Amino acid sequence: MQLSYQEIWLGLENLAKAKGLSLSAMAQRAGLDPTSFNKSKRIGADGRKRWPSTESMNKVLKAMNTTVFEFMEYAGQPLPTPKHTIPLLGLAKAGREGYFDSDGYPLSNDDWDGIEFPIQVAKGVYALEVSGNSMEPVYRAGDKLIVQPDSEVRTNDRIVIKLKTGEVMVKELQHKSAKKVELRSLNPEHTLITLQPDDVCWMARVIWVSQ
């Protein structure tokens, strides 16, 4: 669903208010120039409308811990009626055998449930439901992480990673090279994890969060 020029800017204004921030403070928290969202920046010198860049929007949503669907509501757009179902599994079960193939795609299993999703997604996308409080304050019990196995994993992405020990974790990718993989915990009380590439079975990017 496409948002209009007015809806994009309304969404940013409402998001800032909901978080108790000014537009300038929200921009700074997202690592942007504090004047990025000023009204004076919304029209170019040639009189053309200026839209926030996709990169800027991604940074803001990540900094505000806000999903695209939540932003649509801030922009005054009703969410579309869910029409698609994707597999759902409790995160605590994800490390057991029989749920994923060697590339990180879900295998057919009676333990998989389903979750309705408002847009059509790529084949292989699935959801993991968080339990416990080990990933607070980023993710809380009941949050459903939407994961895409074939998406490119980049630095600072939030990912699901399976190790050859069988352990499945949700982390932020701090660094990946031919010699090591560094993972940052979502809970600030936990320390950085350094792995050898051979320790990893697969990694997949978290593309949305349904709360």
**Judgement on whether residues 64 and 94 belong to the same structural domain of the protein:** no
133 and 63, same structural domain?
no
Specify whether the CB–CB gap between 91 and 129 falls below 8 A. yes
Q: Are 30 and 52 in contact (CB under 8 A)?
A: no
Domain total in the chain: 2
Same domain, residue pair 120 and 203 = yes
DSSP secondary structure, 42-67, as one string: SB-TTS-B-PPPHHHHHHHHHHTT--
Residue 126 has pLDDT above 80, yes or no: yes
- Read off the pLDDT of residues 10-22 as tens digits, 9 standing for 90 and up: 999 999 999 999 9
Q: Tally Cβ neighbours within 10 Å of residue 95.
A: 15
Its domain, for residue 49, covers 5-74
Q: What is the pLDDT of residues 65-103, one digit of tens each?
A: 988 888 988 998 766 666 688 999 999 999 999 999 999
Each residue of 174-210: pLDDT tens digit? 999 999 999 999 888 888 999 999 999 999 999 888 7
Q: What is the pTM of this model?
A: 0.64
Residue 171 domain-assigned (yes or no)? yes
Same domain, residue pair 35 and 114:
no
